[in-house]
């Protein structure tokens, strides 16, 4: 019974079956109002069922695409695909909120900030969080971590991984009190094992690795995030020909975007900041120049607001410009502590 | 290209202990290998002292907090503080007789460098030097004291020169990081501070790391070389000092006098693996940096002794100079011989 496999509530499933809708095909030509009348449910609910059914239907028959040429998708299909795919959480609820739920797959997200703001911490956190199993609302993927600055510390990654495992088992206890059998089987060392760590010592190596990534990910299909910490470092030493630098960076960005699309993975690029002379005063801006700023889908700037770390969405096609506080704790990236206090006081 | 297996690497990076449990605690065990640690502080804050102690301690076996290796010491200002190093080496020779070579100074390679361009060439030579591996112990520590002096005079404050300068930062740092990664060495750099004048919104007022602003000797300062350089180091540690005037009636001084006590403090400004922390420390003849942590106000017993005696510091300074000439060595208890008055960082003031 095909309807039985649909991810809908049991009562909805019962109503469908009792009304005689057992196959996906029987649902495909229905309008929401017809279904609502037959099942005696609200129209919005019926629409939800049809959405789920049509999505499932498409997954069953991928060759029957209604695109103009192979590989093309309609915006409707893409929306479904995006919604069906979980986002990678940053472990900070406020930050997830402004990011629309976390770091999105198929997108290139650039994150920049001053030294000591927590860029590397966020990178390690994402490399750990991408591995949260599907049962816990994660992706259960693996991470590629490209370290150009030598700031990745195994002991810190282990610390964050341990905290993440503890959090997962807490979550388990809260949600599945009745199901004691479902234990967290993941170990902190397993998390480290699933981070593919590359240490890069020159810009030629960096370009070579990005070119090689396609092949690497083809062999490791479960890689769901590529983190580059930072893209900038080797490109800030003597480049006499700035046009060449722009071309190399542009080529690299294009490859990363293709990777993100082709393998349905998230690309997170860290950038440094520099000062820019603007209207008579010096201002902070992300490094690598104006042409580079077009190379990412989303741009997030991390900055200090008094004593608090803040993240600001600087550029994004789908997210509104917003700021949120976060903090770097022993456990990793978390909600800002002062925020907690405020809630407690209220 | 294949990824490194993180489980094959030691779960904790090898660390070079400073030799004081509290300071080591702040730094998560010491100065990490494969990474650049920067010590920032005004002159006389103890940067050179820490560096010298590290060069000697690096020779201890890993079981005793060392790296079992020799060190390269590149100095860019003043003359190399040989006598102070000799003093430290003698102390370690005496206290760790069977763990350290007969003459610790033999395993410290010293080189003077005076400008940035020369530094790039020297780094290339260092790579060949380390590659050949003719040293008795493998090189495990590179010290550059100080990085700021390399950029002291060459570059003007014109945009073109500043651009050249920051490219040079990334070039030197890139080379150092490559060396650190290739040979698994710890890199320690020292940096000077510049005064911050005016309100906090200038470009020098950009907050980097845990501390809102850095204070030393009641001045507001910021590390030299600016924002671009801050991107070039992995960890930044700030050493501050504060003079406190204390009236003492010292049995050692000839009369009651106003003397001053120096409070030195180490702060972790930023680091990929460390939480914000700070601790107080003192410098003794033996070079042990006995500190107390800021949070717990934990006082190390020996540190207490030293702190009490610190009060007479000014008063006995003159004697200290004589002590160095070994004239009155036996008169004072060992902890009394505080700071080497002739050390390079003091000459500048």
Partners of A306 on chain B (C-beta within 8 Å) are 212
Residue B101 or A232, more confident: A232
The chain B residue lying nearest A117, using CA atoms, is B209
Partner B, chain A 285-344, Cβ-Cβ below 8 Å: 304, 306-307, 330
Partner B contacted by A187 (CB < 8 A): no
Q: Is the pLDDT of residue B91 over 90?
A: no
Q: How many CB atoms lie within 10 A of CB B239?
A: 23
Q: Is the pLDDT of residue A302 over 80?
A: yes
For residues B247 and B256, give the distance between their C-alpha atoms in angstroms, rounded to a whole number.
7
At A205-248, the pLDDT tens digits run 999 999 999 999 999 999 999 999 989 999 988 777 888 999 99
Answer with the one of A81, A108, A137 that is the final residue of a domain: A81
Chain A / chain B CB contacts < 8 angstroms: 118
Q: What is the pLDDT of residue A2?
A: 66
Phi, psi of B86, rounded to the nearest 5 degrees: -60, -40
Whether B3 and A196 have beta carbons less than 8 Å apart is answered as yes
Counting the structural domains of chain A, the total is: 2
Cβ of A151 and B234 within 8 Å?
A: yes
Partners of A233 on chain B (C-beta within 8 Å) are 170, 174, 231
Residues paired with residue A227 on neighbouring β-strands, in sequence order? A145, A268
Q: What's the pLDDT band for B316 if we cut at 50, 70, 90?
A: very low
Residues A216 and A324 in one domain: yes
Sheet hosting strand A308-315, strand order edge to edge = A195-199, A142-147, A223-229, A266-271, A108-113, A298-305, A308-315, A323-329, A332-335
Q: What's the pLDDT band for B254 if we cut at 50, 70, 90?
A: low
Residues A102 and A203 in one domain: yes
DSSP label at residue B139: E
Q: Is the pLDDT of residue B82 over 70?
A: yes
Cβ of B3 and A197 within 8 Å?
A: yes
Residue B341 or B238, more confident: B238
Residue A175 or A299, more confident: A299
Domain of residue B88, residue span:
15-243+261-272
Partners of B209 on chain A (C-beta within 8 Å) are 115-116
Summarize the confidence of residues A257-278 as an average pLDDT: 90
Cis, peptide link before residue A230, omega less than 30° from 0: yes
Residues A76 and A140 in one domain: no
Instruction: Tell me the percentage of chain A whose pLDDT exceeds 70.
Output: 88
Specify the pairing of strand A281-286 against strand A273-278: antiparallel
Q: Among A117, A128, A146, A150, pick the best mutation site for testing chain B contact (most B Cβ within 10 A).
A: A150
Of A196, A202, A282, the CB nearest to B203: A282
Partner B contacted by A192 (CB < 8 A): yes
How many whole angstroms from its chain centre is CA B140? 16
Of A116, A273, A304, the CB nearest to B269: A116
Residues A307 and A187 in one domain: yes
Partner B contacted by A218 (CB < 8 A): no
For residues A24 and A1, give the distance between their C-alpha atoms in angstroms, rounded to a whole number.
9
Shortest distance between the Cα of A138 and any Cα of chain B, in A, equals 22
Shortest distance between the Cα of B159 and any Cα of chain A, in A, equals 10
Q: Domain holding A241: CATH number?
A: 3.40.50.300
Answer with the one of A48, A66, A81 that is the final residue of a domain: A81
Partners of B227 on chain A (C-beta within 8 Å) are 114-115, 273-275, 284
The chain B residue lying nearest A196, using CA atoms, is B3
Partners of B40 on chain A (C-beta within 8 Å) are none
Cβ of A237 and B167 within 8 Å?
A: yes
Shortest distance between the Cα of B251 and any Cα of chain A, in A, equals 46
Residues A68 and A104 in one domain: no
Residue B31 or B203, more confident: B31
3-state secondary structure at position A115: coil
Summarize the confidence of residues A279-296 as an average pLDDT: 81
Counting the structural domains of chain B, the total is: 1
Return the axis-axis angle of helices B47-57 and B82-95, rounded to nearest 10°: 40
Most confident of A65-79, B56-70, B321-335: B56-70
Summarize the confidence of residues A77-93 as an average pLDDT: 85
Q: Is the pLDDT of residue B127 over 70?
A: yes
Of A155, A208, A273, the CB nearest to B12: A155
Whether A102 and A311 have beta carbons less than 8 Å apart is answered as no
Q: Is the pLDDT of residue A69 over 70?
A: no
Q: Is the pLDDT of residue A146 over 70?
A: yes
Residue A92 or B302, more confident: A92
The chain A residue lying nearest B273, using CA atoms, is A156
Rounded to two decimals, the ipTM of the complex is 0.77
Q: What is the pLDDT of residue B296?
A: 31
Answer with the one of A30, A53, A81 that is the final residue of a domain: A81
Summarize the confidence of residues B302-317 as an average pLDDT: 33
Whether A314 and A299 have beta carbons less than 8 Å apart is answered as yes
Residues A143 and A229 in one domain: yes
Residues A44 and A156 in one domain: no
Of A150, A306, A307, the CB nearest to B35: A150
Residue A6 or B220, more confident: B220
Q: What's the pLDDT band for B71 if we cut at 50, 70, 90?
A: very high
Domain of residue A277, residue span:
87-345
Residues A178 and A192 in one domain: yes
3-state secondary structure at position A144: strand
Whether A121 and A153 have beta carbons less than 8 Å apart is answered as no
Q: Is the pLDDT of residue B314 over 50?
A: no
**C-alpha closest to that of B88 among B301, B284, B310, B251:** B284
Partners of A236 on chain B (C-beta within 8 Å) are 166-167, 170, 228, 231
The chain B residue lying nearest A206, using CA atoms, is B1
- Residue B107 included in any domain: yes
Residues A126 and A59 in one domain: no
Q: What's the pLDDT band for A68 if we cut at 50, 70, 90?
A: low
Of A156, A201, A236, the CB nearest to B177: A201
Residues A140 and A7 in one domain: no
Of A150, A208, A330, the CB nearest to B177: A150
Q: Domain holding B151: CATH number?
A: 3.40.50.300
Cβ of A150 and B36 within 8 Å?
A: yes
3-state secondary structure at position B265: strand
- Residue B325 included in any domain: no
Q: What is the pLDDT of residue A70?
A: 63
The chain A residue lying nearest B28, using CA atoms, is A155
For the question of whether the overall pTM of this predicted structure is more than 0.90, the answer is no
Residues A127 and A59 in one domain: no
Q: How many CB atoms lie within 10 A of CB A242?
A: 9
Of B181, B206, B209, the CB nearest to A284: B206
Q: What's the pLDDT band for B217 if we cut at 50, 70, 90?
A: confident
- Residue B347 included in any domain: no
Residues A52 and A97 in one domain: no
């Amino acid at each position: 019974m095909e309807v039985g496999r649909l991810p809908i509530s049991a009562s909805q499933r019962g109503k469908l079956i009792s009304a005689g809708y057992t196959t996906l095909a029987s649902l495909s030509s229905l309008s929401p109002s017809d279904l609502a009348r037959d099942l005696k449910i609200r129209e919005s609910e019926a629409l939800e069922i049809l959405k789920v059914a049509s999505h499932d239907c498409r997954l069953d028959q991928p060759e029957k695409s209604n695109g103009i040429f192979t590989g093309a998708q309609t915006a409707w299909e893409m929306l479904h695909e995006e919604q069906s795919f979980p986002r990678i959480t940053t472990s900070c609820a406020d930050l997830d909120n402004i990011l629309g739920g976390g770091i999105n797959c198929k997108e290139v997200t650039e994150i920049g900030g001053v030294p000591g703001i927590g860029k590397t911490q966020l990178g390690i956190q994402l490399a750990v969080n991408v591995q949260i199993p599907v049962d816990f609302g994660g992706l259960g993927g693996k991470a590629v971590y490209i370290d150009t600055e030598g700031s990745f510390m195994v002991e810190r990654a282990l610390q964050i991984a341990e905290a993440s495992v503890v959090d997962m088992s807490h979550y388990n206890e809260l949600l599945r009190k009745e199901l004691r059998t479902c234990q967290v089987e993941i170990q902190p060392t397993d998390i480290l094992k699933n981070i593919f760590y590359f240490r890069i010592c020159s810009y030629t190596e960096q370009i070579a690795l990005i070119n090689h990534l396609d092949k690497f990910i083809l062999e490791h299909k479960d890689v769901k995030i590529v983190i580059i910490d930072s893209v900038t470092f080797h490109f800030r030493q003597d480049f006499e020909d700035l046009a060449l630098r722009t071309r190399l960076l542009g080529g690299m960005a294009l490859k990363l975007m293709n990777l993100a699309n082709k393998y349905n993975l998230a690309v997170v690029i860290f950038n440094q900041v520099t000062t820019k002379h603007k209207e008579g005063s010096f201002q902070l801006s992300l490094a690598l120049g104006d042409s580079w700023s077009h190379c990412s889908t989303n741009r997030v700037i991390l900055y200090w607001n008094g004593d608090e770390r803040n993240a600001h969405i600087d550029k994004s096609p789908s997210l509104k410009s917003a700021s949120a506080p976060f903090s770097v704790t022993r456990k990793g990236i978390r909600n800002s502590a002062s925020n907690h206090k405020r809630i407690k006081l209220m | 290209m294949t990824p490194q297996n993180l489980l094959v690497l030691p779960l904790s990076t090898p660390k070079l202990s400073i030799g004081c449990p509290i300071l080591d605690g702040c730094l998560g065990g010491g100065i990490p290998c494969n990474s650049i640690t920067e010590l920032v502080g005004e002159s006389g804050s103890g940067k050179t002292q820490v560096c010298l102690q590290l060069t000697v301690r690096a020779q201890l076996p890993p079981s005793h907090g060392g790296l079992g290796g020799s060190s390269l010491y590149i100095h860019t200002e003043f003359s190399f503080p040989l006598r102070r190093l000799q003093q430290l080496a003698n102390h370690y020779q005496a206290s760790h007789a069977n763990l350290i070579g007969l003459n610790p100074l033999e395993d410290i390679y010293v080189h003077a460098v005076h400008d940035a361009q020369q530094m790039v060439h020297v780094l290339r030579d260092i790579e060949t030097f380390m590659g050949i591996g003719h040293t008795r112990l493998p090189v495990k520590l590179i010290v550059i004291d100080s990085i700021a002096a390399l950029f002291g005079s060459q570059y003007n404050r014109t945009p073109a020169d500043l651009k050249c300068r920051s490219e040079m930062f990334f070039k030197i740092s890139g080379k150092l990081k490559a060396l650190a990664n290739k040979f698994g060495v710890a890199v320690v750099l020292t940096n000077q501070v510049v005064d911050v004048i005016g309100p906090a919104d200038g470009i020098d007022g950009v907050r980097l790391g845990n501390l809102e602003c850095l204070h030393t000797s009641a001045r507001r300062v910021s590390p030299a070389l600016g924002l671009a350089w801050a991107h070039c180091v992995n960890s930044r540690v700030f050493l501050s000092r504060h003079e406190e005037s204390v009236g003492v009636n010292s049995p050692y001084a000839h009369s009651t006098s106003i003397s001053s006590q120096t409070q030195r403090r180490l702060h972790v400004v930023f680091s990929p693996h460390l939480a914000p922390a700070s601790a107080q420390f003192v410098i003794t003849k033996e070079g042990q940096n006995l500190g107390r942590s800021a949070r717990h106000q934990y006082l190390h017993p020996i540190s207490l002794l030293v702190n009490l005696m610190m009060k007479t510091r000014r008063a006995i300074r003159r004697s200290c100079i004589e002590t160095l000439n070994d004239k009155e060595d036996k008169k004072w208890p060992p902890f009394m011989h505080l700071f080497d008055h002739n050390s390079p960082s003091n000459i500048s003031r």
